[in-house]
Structure 1
Amino acid sequence: MTITDRFSGHESFVCRYGWLPKAYQAVSAEPDLLRDEERAMHQLGIGRNMVKSLQFWCEAMGILTFVSGQGHVPGPIGRKLLDPDHGWDPHLESLESLWLLHWRLCTGAALAAWSVVFGGARLVRFDRQRLIAALAERAAGAARPLAPSTLEQHASIFLQSYYQAERSGDDTSWCPLQDLLLVRAAKEEDGRVVFNTDLRAPVGLSLRVFAVALVEYVTSNSNGSSSVEFLHLLKGPNSPGVVFRLDEHQLRAFIENLADGVLNGALRFVDTSDTQSIVLDRARIDQHYLLKADKEASAHA
């Protein structure tokens, strides 16, 4: 267990369809809204526990950031996606936005189940009990032992965030991350439901979202170097290859398309007989693909 691992806070609710844009617009107008549960319940049209859950997911996904003395301000992902004037997807209608939210949950939210499945541990095929056991292993050494019910609930929230067997057309309680189809399920002969997160084509993952993820990964994990080995991008903990479930050919195609496209002049793919790596010139990266600038802007909003 790392010191930042989180196993709770979601109040047993997944992030529901429609929550994020509604919360972003409401809190942008009233930064202290979530401090007043009664007012938030009335304005957002949700229950008390849902207010706490909504706040949890907005912070975990980078939609909102809490600033002491100010309340909540737009977070880096919120500004990137939901800004009414300059956001990529103000109504959160496209798959590319969900990929960016998925990236944030896996790399910036310190959620244990996301780390176990989509981060470094990388469970690929597992049933519910195997996931709970992996969470228990990750929680070992905590100052206070976690109750089995906490681990079970955290596992359930993770699975419900990405998979639902059946969904009616008018059901708004589902999590939009299910649309990414990252977690699939099949029933074994012994009756167990086994979940699978193996490699597959990432439908809807756009070049600009991949660019944001790649730039953030390189700037966060290169220790000041401008060069990162291709293998680290493919299989390193919390890397684009692991988080987006890419194979070698898919990852290479994304990198080459970025080098020829939106990161032209800033990104170079080096492929020689003894090394494969990328070189990133940070000074030449378009600001559209930097989350750091958004963080700084939101902190001074």
Structure 2
Amino acid sequence: MNAQGLISDDYRPSFSGHETFPLRYGWLQKAYHAVNDAPSAKHAVHVFRDPDSIARFGVGRNMVGAIRYWATAAGILEESSDGLLTTWLGAMLFDKNGTDPYLEEDASLWLLHWHLAARPRLTSAYWLFNEFRGGSFVRQDIVSPLLKLAQERGWSRVASTTVDRDLQCLLRTYIGGRGSSEAGESILAELGLIRPMDKYRSRLSRGRKSTLPNSVFLYCINEFWENFAPEQATMSFENAAYGRGSPGRVFLLDEDDIVDRLEQLESISDGTLAWSETAGLRQIIRRKPRSLKIERRILRETLMRARSKVAA
């Protein structure tokens, strides 16, 4: 993730790859197991290309490509110089002892959303959650500034129809198809981040997010920090709340919710981070180096507790 986001000189925009298919239930789990079962990263690429891929995933050829696209964008798979690999997130959710193989827990959905929207890899998603300052919108309200940005940055071959199709697919991922059975297939609709207002207009739902666990917030604060300013020992409230790719932006949080979470940082981070309000200066202080091991343990414990409550 680059702090400059879409205006980085080496940024390459992406408005395609999903074949217009929104993310659906079951896809990420299938992608994880297909790649995990492959003998090598090089062979893993072919599970989405070989003649058996249609039977393997139980969908058409174009949809196979969409499964790979979403699994990579959501942080379940990652591309390497050798091919395709599974990630720690994919293993935590879908492995033999996975904590949420059917994506039934809010924490899992928030993590997937973070990977989709906090990084500029998906241009439309990143722009909508990090750059758009309005409330309600129709698609053209998003398409027009993206086309203007493409022209300003000299992005080649960015057509209006391509951007519009990309945005349609994104909206269907978060709110489903209006008035269709597809709504129940939209994994991220449960987060309520984008809400339909009428046939054409939608709105971003900014405010307190009661289903967002503090463990997810902690992980995302640390990831944002690592990419925004890893050498700094402090982070201002403004950056955590309003910086591009920050938890405040990506999760559409209001200030009260952010402050409530920051006040609990020290306890939930095992003392790694602390919140300070001194002489009107609000900031997060890093007291110890980031520990991915601790963060991932806390995330796993969150999901395990949620699963045990359901089982009870």
Decide: shared fold, TM above 0.5: yes
Amino acid paired to 1:13: F
Amino acid paired to 2:280: D
| Match 2:142 to one of 131, 146, 155 | 131
State the match for 1:237 in structure 2: 244
CA 1:133–1:286: 2 relative to 1, 3 Å:
closer
Determine if the alignment matches structure 1 residue 8 to structure 2 residue 6: no
Number of paired residues? Answer: 282
Structure 1 residue 273: deviation in Å? Answer: 2.0
Amino acid paired to 2:141: R
Aligned partners of 1:138 and 1:12: how far apart in 2? 22
State the match for 1:56 in structure 2: 69
After superposition, the CA RMSD in angstroms is 2.3
CA 1:50–1:173: 2 relative to 1, 3 Å:
farther
Secondary structure of the corresponding residue to residue 260 of structure 1: helix
State the match for 2:214 in structure 1: 207
Structure 1 residue 196: deviation in Å? Answer: 0.9
State the match for 1:196 in structure 2: 203
| Match 2:87 to one of 75, 85, 94 | 75
Amino acid paired to 2:91: R
Aligned partners of 1:123 and 1:110: how far apart in 2? 22
CA 1:215–1:52: 2 relative to 1, 3 Å:
same
Structure 1 residue 242: deviation in Å? Answer: 0.8
Contact 2:16–2:162 under 8 Å retained in 1? yes
Secondary structure of the corresponding residue to residue 118 of structure 2: helix
Identity %: 29
CA 1:46–1:105: 2 relative to 1, 3 Å:
same
TM-score normalised over the length of structure 1: 0.85
Deviates more, 1:207-216 or 1:76-85: 76-85
Structure 1 residue 120: deviation in Å? Answer: 3.2
Amino acid paired to 1:82: F
Secondary structure of the corresponding residue to residue 108 of structure 1: coil
Determine if the alignment matches structure 1 residue 163 to structure 2 residue 169: no
Deviates more, 1:130-139 or 1:72-81: 72-81
Structure 1 residue 157: deviation in Å? Answer: 0.9
Contact 2:119–2:245 under 8 Å retained in 1? no
Amino acid paired to 2:186: C
| Match 2:126 to one of 105, 109, 115 | 115
CA deviations 1:95-119 (Å, max 9, x no partner) are 2111111111112352111122112
| Match 1:184 to one of 175, 195, 210 | 195
State the match for 2:160 in structure 1: 148
Amino acid paired to 1:115: Y
Contact 2:44–2:85 under 8 Å retained in 1? no
Aligned partners of 1:136 and 1:22: how far apart in 2? 35
Aligned partners of 1:166 and 1:224: how far apart in 2? 49
Amino acid paired to 1:264: D
CA deviations 1:132-159 (Å, max 9, x no partner) are 1122123223342322210110111111
Aligned partners of 2:155 and 2:278: how far apart in 1? 48
Structure 1 residue 163: deviation in Å? Answer: 1.2
Amino acid paired to 1:174: E
CA deviations 1:214-273 (Å, max 9, x no partner) are 110112112401210011111111111111111111011112223223x03111101112
Secondary structure of the corresponding residue to residue 269 of structure 1: strand
| Match 2:102 to one of 71, 77, 91 | 91
Which blocks of at least 5 consecutive residues in structure 2 are unaligned? 1-5, 298-312
Determine if the alignment matches structure 1 residue 267 to structure 2 residue 273: yes
Aligned partners of 1:40 and 1:173: how far apart in 2? 26
Deviates more, 1:144-153 or 1:263-272: 144-153
Amino acid paired to 2:130: G
Amino acid paired to 2:283: S
Structure-to-structure mapping, 1:21-36, within 5 angstroms: 21-30=29-38, 31=41, 32-35=43-46, 36=49
CA deviations 1:9-29 (Å, max 9, x no partner) are 111111111100121112201
Secondary structure of the corresponding residue to residue 160 of structure 1: helix
| Match 1:46 to one of 52, 59, 64 | 59
CA 1:134–1:143: 2 relative to 1, 3 Å:
closer
